[in-house]
Chains A and B, each alone.
Chain A
Amino acid sequence: MSDLTAKTIAELRDGFRAGDFSAREIASAFNDAVAGARALNAYTVETPEDALASADAADQARQAGELKPLSGVPVGIKDLFATVGVDTTSGSNILKGFKPPYESTVSANLRSAGAGMLGKLNMDEFAMGSSNETSAYGPVISPWKRNDGGNAALTPGGSSGGSAAAVAAGIAPGVTGTDTGGSIRQPAAFTGISGIKPTYGRCSRWGIVAFASSLDQAGPMARSVRDCAIMLEAMAGFDPKDSTSLDLPVPQWEAGLSSDLRGKRVGVPREYRIDGVPHEINALWDRGIEWLRDAGAEPVEISLPHTKYALPTYYIIAPAEASSNLARYDGVRYGLREQGEGGLEGMYAATRAAGFGAEVKRRIMIGTYVLSAGFYDAYFNKAQRVRALIKQDFRNAFEQCDVILTPTAPSAAFGLGEKKDPLAMYLNDVFAVPASLAGLPAMSVPGGLDSQGLPLGLHLIGRELDEQGVLNAGLAIEERAGFTARPGKWW
C-alpha cells in the first residue's frame, strides 16, 4: 500500500470515491508511514486511531452515498491548532500536557469536511522561528539531503517545519500550517511542496494559539496547487468567534483553477533583487517570469519602494503583539507552573522563565520594550505608520499588475545549527514578510532544485481576496516547472 502515500489529496479523494481503495487502506498506509518516520521528528503526537475512525466513517459514508469534500483523506495538524483532548503545545514547554476541551475552528472545519487526523506537527515554539530549532521537542529534520555526499541534517524551514517535512516525506498528504511572516511559504519552499497563506481573515483564528494577531493566518500545505485549493476551501469561512473573520462566502477555488493567464499582468518588483541572494535563485525567478509569459501573462516591472523596511517593521509589530498575547501564560489557568519565590509575582516570573525558550523570551523582551512607556510612539506607532506605507505600495502596484512574482526565500534550506545569529535568521523571511504585513494572499510553489539538489520555491502575491489569481498563477508555474523531485528515503 505504500503507493497510496505517494498520491495527492485529489488522487486519494477521487480514487476513494471510485472505489479503487478504501479510506481505511489510505489511513493505514499513512499511519504506517508516520510510525516509520520518527527519525524526522515531524509529529509531536501521533493519532492513528483518530485517522482510522474517520476512515471508517468515510467508508460508511461512501456506502450510504453521503460523501463529504474530504471524506477518505487524513491530514496532519500543526501543533498550535487546538484539538479536543489531544496535546496542543505550540512547541512550548509552557503548554506541555495541555489538552484543550475545545476544537479550533479550522480543524473543526476540516473534520466537518470528512478529514481524519494523523497527528500533531512539530513547529518552532509559538511559531517564532524560521528553522524549527526553537521547538521544545527539538528540531524537525528535513527529509531532504544535499547531494554533496555529506550527511548534514537540514532544516525543513519554519515555523511550520513539521508540516512541511510531513508532506515532503509522504507521511501526510496535506497539512495545516500558519503563517505570521512566512511560516507556511518558507518551509514549503525548503521542502519542495506548495503552501498558501490566504487573505487575512479568510481562516478563523479561533482556537489557534496566538502569536501576532494582526498577522497570523492559517493555510494549507500540500503536494500540489490543486490540493491547496481543496484544503483551503474546507478550512476557510466566516466565524463569529473571530472578530477579524471575513464575513464572505468561500469561493470554489478548486473549480475555478485555470492556468490560462491570458490578459493577466505579472508584476516583478525591482526591490526584490537584493544583494547576497545566490545567482540560482534569481535565475529561477527569471524562469518563473518566462513560465508565466508562456501561460499568456504579460510581465511588468513594478516598484514596492518600502520593501527594505518590511522586516524591521515586522520585528517591532510581531514581538509587540506576541508580548501581549503571551502574557496569558502565567501558571494559573493552564500549562506549566513553577512555584518560585515571592508569592504570586514570583510564581509568574518563575513559571515564564522555566516555560519559555530563548527565542520566545527574546521576542517578549523586544515587544515589551517597544510597547513600554516612552518608547511606544518611537517604535510601535512608527512601525504601524511604515506598515501603512507598505500596504499602500501594494495598492499602487496592483494598479499595474494582477499578481506579483518573487522568489520565496533568499536561500535553499540551510543546515541545523548553521544560523546562530537571530538577525541572520530573521533575514530569511525577507521576501515573505511584506505580504504578511499587508494581509495579502501569497503562496509558494516549487520551481526547481539548486546545484546541491535542494528545492527552491517561487512566490506569488495577490490582491486582497484574490486567492484564485494566486492559485492560478501557481498552477501555471507548476505545470511548466515539472517539479517531480522527491527526497530519497533515509529515515
Chain B
Amino acid sequence: MSVDTRTVRHIARLARLKMSDAEVEAMVPELNNILGWVEQLGEVDTDGVEPLTAVIDQKLRLRDDIVTDGGIRDAVLVNAPDAQHGFFAVPKVIE
C-alpha cells in the first residue's frame, strides 16, 4: 500500500494539520518510505495470535463512583489562550 497526495491531504485533514501543497508533496515519499518499511510485518505469521492489549498483565482497578476532585476552575483555565466568563473561548461556530 502506498499513499499519494490525495491520501496525504485526507490524513492531514483527519489529523487537523494544515499543510501547503509543497508540504503535501514532500510528505508523500517520506510516508511511503516508512510505510514500505513497516510492511515487512506481513512476513510474520500471526494466525491465531491475539493482539497484545496489556503490556504487563494486571487487572484494571475500579474505584468508587464518587467525586474526588474539582472546584478548581481557575486552575483549569489558567493556561487557556482565551478564557472568558469562566469558560474556554473558541472562534465562533454558530452564525
Q: Which A residues are closer than 8 A to B by beta carbons?
A: 98-102, 199-201, 214-215, 240, 243-244, 246-247, 306, 309, 312-313, 315-316, 323, 327, 330-337, 339-340, 343-350, 352-353, 356, 361-362, 364-366, 368-369, 372, 375, 378-379, 381-389, 391, 422-423, 438-439, 464
Contact B81 A365 (CB under 8 A): no
Closest to A339 in B: B91
**Which residues of A lie under 8 Å from residue B40 when comparing CB positions?**
309, 312
**Which residues of B lie under 8 Å from residue A340 when comparing CB positions?**
18
Contact of B44 among A199, A244, A335, A389 (CB under 8 A): A389
**A-B pairs, 9 with minimum CB distance:** A384-B51, A439-B55, A337-B81, A334-B79, A385-B46, A353-B18, A349-B18, A101-B75, A312-B38
Contact of A388 among B18, B52, B88 (CB under 8 A): B52
**Which residues of A lie under 8 Å from residue B67 when comparing CB positions?**
none
Question: Within 8 Å of chain A (Cβ to Cβ): is B22?
Answer: no
Contact A244 B81 (CB under 8 A): no
Contact B31 A366 (CB under 8 A): yes
**Which residues of A lie under 8 Å from residue B19 when comparing CB positions?**
353
Closest to B77 in A: A333
Contact B49 A352 (CB under 8 A): no
**Which residues of B lie under 8 Å from residue A313 when comparing CB positions?**
38, 41
B72 → chain A closest CB, angstroms? 8
Contact A343 B46 (CB under 8 A): no
**A201-B56, A365-B27, A438-B55 are known contacts. Are A422 and B15 too (CB-CB below 8 A)?**
no
Closest to B80 in A: A333
**Which residues of B lie under 8 Å from residue A391 when comparing CB positions?**
52, 55
Contact A309 B44 (CB under 8 A): yes
Contact A312 B30 (CB under 8 A): no
Closest to B40 in A: A312
Contact A335 B56 (CB under 8 A): no
**Which residues of B lie under 8 Å from residue A369 when comparing CB positions?**
3, 7, 11, 31, 35
**Which residues of B lie under 8 Å from residue A334 when comparing CB positions?**
79-81
Q: Which of B40-75 contact A (CB under 8 A)?
A: 40-44, 46, 49-53, 55-56, 58, 60-61, 63, 72, 75
Complex Cα distance A469/B18, Å? 49
Q: Which B residues are closer than 8 A to A by beta carbons?
A: 1, 3, 7-8, 11-19, 27, 30-31, 33-35, 37-44, 46, 49-53, 55-56, 58, 60-61, 63, 72, 75-76, 78-82, 88, 90-93
Which of B7, B33, B37, B81 has the largest count of A CB atoms less than 10 A from its CB?
B81
Contact B37 A312 (CB under 8 A): yes
Complex Cα distance A387/B55, Å? 9
Complex Cα distance A336/B81, Å? 7
**A313-B41, A352-B18, A372-B14 are known contacts. Are A423 and B34 too (CB-CB below 8 A)?**
yes
Contact B15 A323 (CB under 8 A): yes
B54 → chain A closest CB, angstroms? 8
Closest to A385 in B: B46
**A99-B79, A423-B33, A464-B56 are known contacts. Are A349 and B49 too (CB-CB below 8 A)?**
no
Q: List 25 A-B contacts (CB under 8 A).
A: A101-B75, A201-B55, A313-B38, A315-B34, A315-B37, A333-B80, A346-B18, A347-B91, A353-B17, A362-B27, A362-B30, A366-B31, A366-B35, A368-B14, A369-B31, A369-B35, A372-B11, A372-B14, A381-B51, A382-B46, A385-B51, A388-B52, A423-B34, A439-B55, A464-B56
Contact A439 B56 (CB under 8 A): yes
Which of A244, A375, A464 has the largest count of B CB atoms less than 10 A from its CB?
A244
